[in-house]
Amino acid sequence: MKIIKTGLILLSLVGIFFITDGCNSSSNTLSAARNISGTWTMLTPVTVNISNDYLTGDTTLKVTQKWDIVFVITSGADENHVNVTMTFAVSNSTIIDNNGGLGTGVIPEVSPQYLTGVISSTTLTLYSGTKQFGKFDFISNSMQGTIDYTWTSVWSQREYTDTNAVILRK
13-22, 64-73, 144-153: segment of lowest average pLDDT:
13-22
In whole angstroms, what separates CA 14 from the centre of its chain?
45
In the prediction, which pLDDT does 103 show? 93
Q: Is pLDDT of 10 > 50?
A: no
User: Mean pLDDT in the chain?
Assistant: 85
Residue 66 belongs to what H/E stretch? strand 60-75
> Mean pLDDT across the stretch 81-95?
97
Q: How confident is the model at residue 3 (pLDDT cuts 50, 70, 90)?
A: low
For residue 108, say if its preceding peptide bond is cis, omega within 30 degrees of 0: no
* Whole-angstrom distance, CA of residue 126 vs CA of residue 83: 9
In the prediction, which pLDDT does 111 show? 97
In the prediction, which pLDDT does 142 show? 96
**Chain segment 48-78, per-residue pLDDT in tens:** 999 999 988 889 999 999 999 999 999 999 9
Judge whether 84 and 126 are in contact, CB under 8 Å.
Answer: yes
What does DSSP assign to residue 10?
H
Judge whether 116 and 81 are in contact, CB under 8 Å.
Answer: yes
141-145 contacts, C-beta under 8 A, 24 or more apart:
141/169, 141/170, 142/167, 142/168, 142/169, 142/170, 143/36, 143/40, 143/71, 143/167, 143/168, 143/169, 143/170, 144/168
Pick the CATH number of 38-169 from 2.40.128, 3.40.50, 1.25.40, 2.60.40: 2.40.128
Q: Angle CA(152)–CA(162)–CA(93) in degrees, nearest 5?
A: 70
